[in-house]
């Protein structure tokens, strides 16, 4: 697979990666730095689709960020049963780090977390060219109409009421990211 270094923009052939991986650490032959290559974003598109990352059937990765360990475990169980790979973050700073490093296919983001609120994380995601197109579902136990309008303005793809998480989490995630390509 031909990829482009996100740091120096040099193109090089990548041969050592697993089918379930999306982001890998790799020594760029151009700038000699260890960089995080996003196989989907940094792949150089060619006329041949053979060997293309987009052609690989893979489990999609969902990041769930919330400060409640019980909610994180429930969300992980529900999403894994639906066929997703799941990353967990216990606060906003950890969520932002994971989005930047792992490039999940979608984020389910609590609005009120320690160290960095979900609002702040969403703003940071939308301001970063490498991750700004990541779909984000905001969630909260507090529902207010004016918050929904504000979330839409920030670029959230939807809202999830925590009290209805068991009934709606998988459905809401599947609406923005099918569990596997073509599903």
- Which pLDDT does position 41 carry in this prediction? 86
Rounded mean pLDDT, 26-33: 91
Domain boundaries, the chain: 2-55, 61-176
- Which pLDDT does position 99 carry in this prediction? 97
Q: What is the pTM of this model?
A: 0.80
- Which pLDDT does position 35 carry in this prediction? 92
- Which pLDDT does position 83 carry in this prediction? 93
Domain covering 61-176: architecture: 3-Layer(aba) Sandwich (3.40)
- Which pLDDT does position 50 carry in this prediction? 53
89 vs 181, more confident: 89
Q: What is the pLDDT of residues 89-133, one digit of tens each?
A: 999 999 999 999 999 999 999 999 999 999 999 999 999 999 999
The mean of the pLDDT values for the chain is: 87
Handedness of CA 39, 42, 36, 108 (dihedral sign): negative
Q: Are 111 and 118 in contact (CB under 8 A)?
A: yes
In 114-160, where does DSSP find H-type helix?
118-127, 145-154
Q: Say how many Å lie between the first and final Cα of the chain, rounded.
A: 25
User: pLDDT tier at 182 (50, 70, 90 boundaries)?
Assistant: very low
What three-state secondary structure class fits 87? strand
Contact residues for 163 (Cβ-Cβ < 8 A; gap 6+):
141
What three-state secondary structure class fits 107? strand
18 vs 42, more confident: 42
Determine how β-strand 136-140 pairs with β-strand 106-110.
parallel
Give how far Cα 108 sits from Cα of 43, 96, 100, Å.
26, 12, 15
Q: Is the pLDDT of residue 141 over 50?
A: yes
């Amino acid at each position: 697979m031909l990829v482009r270094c996100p740091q120096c923009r040099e193109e090089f052939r990548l041969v050592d990666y697993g089918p379930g991986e999306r982001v890998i650490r790799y020594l760029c032959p151009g700038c000699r730095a260890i960089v995080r290559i996003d196989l989907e974003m940094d792949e150089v598109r060619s006329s041949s689709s053979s060997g293309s990352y987009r052609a690989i059937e893979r489990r999609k990765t969902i990041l769930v960020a919330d400060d409640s360990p019980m909610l994180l475990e429930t969300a992980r169980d529900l999403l894994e049963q639906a066929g997703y790979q799941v990353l967990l973050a216990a606060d906003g700073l950890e969520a932002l780090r994971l989005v930047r490093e792992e490039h999940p296919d979608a984020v389910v983001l609590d609005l009120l977390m320690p160290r960095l609120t979900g609002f702040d994380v969403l703003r940071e995601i939308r301001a970063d060219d490498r991750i700004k197109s990541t779909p984000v579902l905001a969630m909260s136990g507090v529902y207010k109409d004016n918050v929904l309008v504000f979330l839409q303005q920030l670029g959230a793809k939807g809202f999830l009421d925590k009290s209805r998480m068991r009934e709606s989490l998988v459905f809401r995630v599947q609406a923005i990211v099918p569990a596997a390509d073509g599903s």
